[in-house]
Amino acid sequence: MHILFLTHYFPPEVNAPASRTYENAIRWVGEGQQVSVITCVPHHPKGVVYDGYQNRWRQWELMEGIHVLRVKTYLGPNAGFFRRIANYVSYLLAATLFCRSVKDVDIVVSTSPQFFCGLAGYAVSKRLNVPWLLEIRDLWPESIVAVGALKSRSIISLLEGIESFMYRKADGIVSVTRSFVDHIVSRGVEREKVSVVTNGADLRRFDPLPKDNPVARELGLADRFVAAFIGTHGMAHGLETVLLAAERLRKENNILFLLVGDGAERENILRQKERLQLDNVLMLPQQSKDRAVKLLASADVSLVLLRKNRLFRTVIPSKIFEAMAMERPIILGVDGESKEIMLESGAGICIEPENDRELADAVLTLYRDRERCREMGQRGRRFVERNYSRDILARRYLSLIEEVISGKRSDGREEVV
């Protein structure tokens, strides 16, 4: 079986969609399948091409058995609505133009958001005359409307029309959360067409490591209680909440808040940190995947935060599972399905989103009770091993792909329980 996967992001980029696609693809190759990927030259999040790459029309790369075709796109930073849209649309056009460079394909899988990448799956599947499986990792345009990045009613209506078109035309849809299913069905899609394969953790990469590691010693983290947010600093995350919590705890000299990553809001957060003169906040730019794992190991608690918005009740940030795998307790500021997972696992403390007082109190509680930290971390690791191992999830995803190819869909059952 030859799977062609369309994704805007792929390693060496280190964001969540790149990791999900790569971790699934490498396991499918290990199962004896042929996997090709059409993606951009790596440039996320600054819009600058990574060292060793050029933004050429076509360039092939073999990455651990995965055949990667990188196509030329308009390069824009992960900021500014219209420049990002230009980046996204150029990928759709380039992927459609060069898809016939990939031979003997059995199925096209495309991932959304951004949903111009998802829509590319429709065009490519038509050109190659093969089935199309659409993966939904987030709801567009709802998510960009929720954070105020898009307000034009006419543009929103246009994007909603594209969204509904994709749902109708796909031969199968895979959602990363159960909460998305009702929304997809509300757009006129048969429930039997939608399955759920959640995010999870690569238990080989995210294996518990000691806090006292070379990266921790280099940054002076080994002897401090570290509450870390590692990931995109976007409009959805409300990271000013971390700064306000840090201000409340500035007299606790042994507590440090660590923010690692890049994104549209990073510069704003950095300016606010400097204005508040927060010596108990350390901000680092985006790190390599291996270094990010060591930084997570250097933390005593992982922060998983989103703004208080109805839409975000449907979201499950993948960093939840990575922190669990590393045996790090979580302070979760996300309602809905994520909160249900946290309560079931017993792997952390739930707080109200955007509530800096509750965040400060939760950090202080865990700082004063290290045994509770240890127990929560161990419960999280056991929970993710049972329910959210990438090995298990990739195998179930592959079965779903095989069903779509054969035309034998399941009766709407969830692929992960």
DSSP bridge pairs for 2: 34
Q: What is the pLDDT of residue 416?
A: 42
Contact between 329 and 380 (Cβ < 8 Å)? yes
Q: What is the pLDDT of residue 412?
A: 44
Q: Read off the pLDDT band of 411 (50, 70, 90).
A: very low
| pLDDT of 42 over the 70 cut | yes
| pLDDT of 408 over the 70 cut | no
Identify which has the larger pLDDT, 118 or 239: 239
| pLDDT of 413 over the 50 cut | no
Q: pTM to 2 decimals?
A: 0.86
How much is the average pLDDT of 364-384? 97
| pLDDT of 149 over the 70 cut | no
Q: What is the pLDDT of residue 237?
A: 93
| pLDDT of 404 over the 60 cut | yes
Q: How many CB atoms lie within 10 A of CB 4?
A: 28
Q: Give the C-alpha separation, 167 to 164, whole Å.
A: 5
Identify which has the larger pLDDT, 118 or 344: 344
Mean pLDDT across the chain: 91
Identify which has the larger pLDDT, 167 or 152: 167
Q: What is the pLDDT of residue 146?
A: 57
214-387, CATH topology level: Rossmann fold (3.40.50)
pLDDT digits 0-9 by tens, 185-208: 988 889 999 999 999 999 989 999
> Which CATH superfamily hosts domain 2-200+389-406?
Glycogen Phosphorylase B; (3.40.50.2000)
- Those residues whose C-beta lies under 8 Å from the C-beta of residue 171, and which sit 6 or more positions away, are 125, 131, 132, 133, 404
| pLDDT of 167 over the 60 cut | yes
pLDDT digits 0-9 by tens, 379-388: 999 999 999 9
The rounded percent of the chain whose pLDDT value lies above 90 is 75
Most confident of 64-78, 171-185, 271-285: 271-285
Q: What is the pLDDT of residue 135?
A: 95
pLDDT digits 0-9 by tens, 277-315: 999 999 999 998 899 999 999 999 999 999 998 888 988
How much is the average pLDDT of 69-78? 88
How much is the average pLDDT of 99-116? 92
Domain spans, the chain:
2-200+389-406, 214-387
| pLDDT of 325 over the 60 cut | yes
